[in-house]
Amino acid sequence: MKVSIIGAGNVGGTLAQRISEAGLADVVLLDIAEGLAKGKGFDLSDARSITSKNHRISGTSDYNEIRDSTVVVVTAGLARVPGMTREDLLKKNAAIIKKVIYSIAENAPDSIIVMVTNPLDILTNLALHLSKFSPQKVIGMGGVLDSARFANLIAEHLDVPVTSVEALVIGAHSKDMIPLAGFSKVSGKPLTQIVSAERCRDLSLATAQRGAQIVACLGQGSAYYAPSAAAFKMVKAIIGSENIVVPACVYCNGEYGIEDTCIGVPARLGSRGVEEIIELDLKVEEKEKLLNSAKFIKEAAANLA
């Protein structure tokens, strides 16, 4: 198995480390800044004897090196700075992603694409349109990350182990994300039975603001430990044919009443990419918010194509 990562910044480099240390697959780390990718590739490769892993890892700026990839993860693009929304990134990162997707389609046409670059949902739609890949094979990362943040905030608020929390966030990977308190549990018990409706709203708002909070604290750059962990979970599900259900930005064409749009919903991931979309019985206001987000994402993506 071979995983190629486009973009050797913080997310890409940390993801390469996670894959290598897990012994999951060979890794190709690619960046237009050739020295950056090569240097990190050399460094990660040197660590293999310490971590006792034999999978190869290399850095390059040559797209020929991604040939025969099982999965290609796209992290390339600019990161947010304080005060910048994901939407502010759109024009600049769309131009970058267009070049990246054309290169993936040319050199790794049988791969599964996992999108990480923001604004995630819009660029996932763009990637699907430009690559002309099967909708099963173009997947965005946002929901796994947002759900992890929701779970962490719930655990901190209740002072319980985070491993006892099952949290679910769907919709756009933006301030309009939809944390589903009714589908989130603590030790098997619905969150809505444990905390008040007001506290659920507070935790949901804190989840939506978490990315901006991290950006503000860092001053330069954005989150990468949790995003790389989220991407790793998705890559592992595909490489390992795990058939696990995670919230991910996937192509809907009728599901949830959404037509011809990629947006965050629960999906089963396996060796073919998206194996199945899981439809939940949402509240009226949750369904309406999801449809409104899908409409915005579809229109924004259409303006870029």
Active site residues: 173
Q: Which residues on neighbouring strands pair with residue 5, listed in sequence order?
A: 29, 73
Backbone angles phi, psi at 290, to 5 degrees: -65, -45
CA distances from 291 to 86, 139, 252 (A): 19, 19, 11
* Alpha helix segments (H runs only) across 47-141: 48-51, 90-107, 120-131
* Alpha helix segments (H runs only) across 140-246: 142-158, 197-218, 225-239
Would you say the C-alpha torsion 145, 249, 80, 36 has a positive or negative sign? positive
CA distances from 64 to 4, 67, 129 (A): 11, 6, 22
Amino acid letter, residue 65:
E
CA distances from 172 to 38, 39, 68, 270, 272 (A): 34, 35, 31, 22, 23
